[in-house]
Amino acid sequence: MHINQQQLDLVNQRIQAMCAARSFYGRRFIEQGIAGVESEADFLALPFSEKKDLREAYPLGIMSVPEDQIVRMHSSSGTTGKPVVIPYTARDVEDWAIQFARCYEMAGVTKKDRVQIMTGYGLWTAGVGFQAGCERLGAMAIPMGPGNTEKQLRMMIDMESTVLCATSSYALLLAEEIGKRGIRDQLKIKKCILGSERMSDMMRQTIEEKLAVEIYDIYGMTEIYGPGIGINCSHETGIHYWDDFLYIEIINPDTGEVLPDGEWGELVITTLRKEGAPLIRFRTHDLSRIIPEKCSCGASWPRIDSIRGRSDDMVKIKGVNFFPAQIEEILQTFPEVSSEYQIKISHLDGKDTMRLYVETNGSVDFLDLASRIAARVKSRIGFTPLVKVVEIGVLPRSEKKTARVVDMRYQ
């Protein structure tokens, strides 16, 4: 996906604002002699920004407008070290609501819906984002906040809520509770919009089955407005995002080189309109790819694939970088294997070796399947793994994708 002239113009406006404000990034641009961009090549030469910059600029060093224009603050959790603080102008707050309202629309939510919001309020971007988007769309927001399951279920029944917004783990807990109490038929819920944390396919499936609802997975992060910058459509083919607000690139996390559309790598986001805290080429460390084809839903918004982990998960073997997600992609092209797999990497006789364990049923020729999988990994990623085919049920079950990779070189 190439950056267009309108997007370049917006990037220039952001760079000029940052320089004028002498913000953390503004000073950096001035030091490096960067006053703007005229072409895609200029844009690609701009330095990346990182979460650690935001910590360094704590608390308000990234503010890029005079303080009297700031109307709100949000902050990310900050489990390690300083938190990240993001200032918003009135325009930023409105732009975020516009994007979030689009997410609801993409999920088929209308003014007639009653939306029970069970995500956290306060410094978090979740609760208030879900609420502002809902109100902007014109649906009825029921701002519950998280927890207190008794009260949530009561309101769900009494208010006849049709849409639930929650983290995936809370939605799972609710789904189990609803099942236990046998009250599903008293509820009017049709859709769940989940966000704020990664969800495994298994978790998603469990919520979907237990609640018999459509599930939508919202994307976002505090640094870039918050949740609401993208969502899957009912065709479940990746995440549509709003390219009038964001420019997205996929890079090789090791080299920083921009990858062609379709290839997996790290998601890098540029905010085109954000005023309070604009970010240019912000490294999210989330792994995805740009889906080049148009979505079958007909929407013209571009798409990224669902997030498949973090670039910190990248594995290097025999000089080749790969992500467990790429192996999973390849395995999905073999209908005869189950969804479980395990990757073991070891260092034997002076060289790295990858063993790939996959499961199939007894009707398949194990040796033939193993060599076909090995050949496909070689042709798509560039090295040949030792493939071990086992009977279905032999491999350990795990909800975490990362637990499927055992790197014995560092143990």
Task: Give contact residues for Zn ion (rule: CB under 5 A).
Answer: 233, 235, 295, 297, 299
Nearer to Zn ion, 124 or 219 (CB): 219
Q: From residue 95, give the alpha-carbon distance in Å to each of 40, 236, 311.
A: 25, 25, 29
Q: Name residue 194's beta-bridge partners.
A: 166, 217
- Identity of the residue, 74 or 204, whose beta carbon is nearer to Zn ion in the bound complex: 204
Determine the Cα–Cα distance for residues 240 and 71; give it in Å rounded to an integer.
29
User: Least Å distance between CB 235 and Zn ion?
Assistant: 5
Q: Which is nearer to Zn ion, 93 or 299 (CB)?
A: 299
- In the bound state with Zn ion, the residue whose beta carbon lies nearer, of 115 and 233, is 233
Residue among 220 and 238 whose Cβ is closer to Zn ion: 238
Residue 27: which of 58, 57, 48, 50 has the closest Cα?
57
Between 120 and 230, whose beta carbon lies closer to Zn ion? 230
Query: Is the Cβ–Cβ distance between 290 and 302 less than 8 Å?
Result: yes
| Cβ 103 to Zn ion shortest distance, Å | 12
Closest C-alpha to 21, from 69, 55, 54, 59 = 69
| Distance of closest approach, residue 163 Cβ to Zn ion, in angstroms | 19
Give the shortest CB-295-to-Zn ion separation in angstroms: 3
Least spacing, CB of residue 133 vs Zn ion, in Å: 18
Question: Is the Cβ of residue 62 or residue 233 nearer to Zn ion in the bound state?
Answer: 233
- In the complex, least distance from residue 216 CB atom to Zn ion, rounded to whole angstroms: 11
Closer residue to Zn ion, CB minimum distance, 295 or 406: 295
Closest distance to Zn ion from the beta carbon of 299 (Å): 5
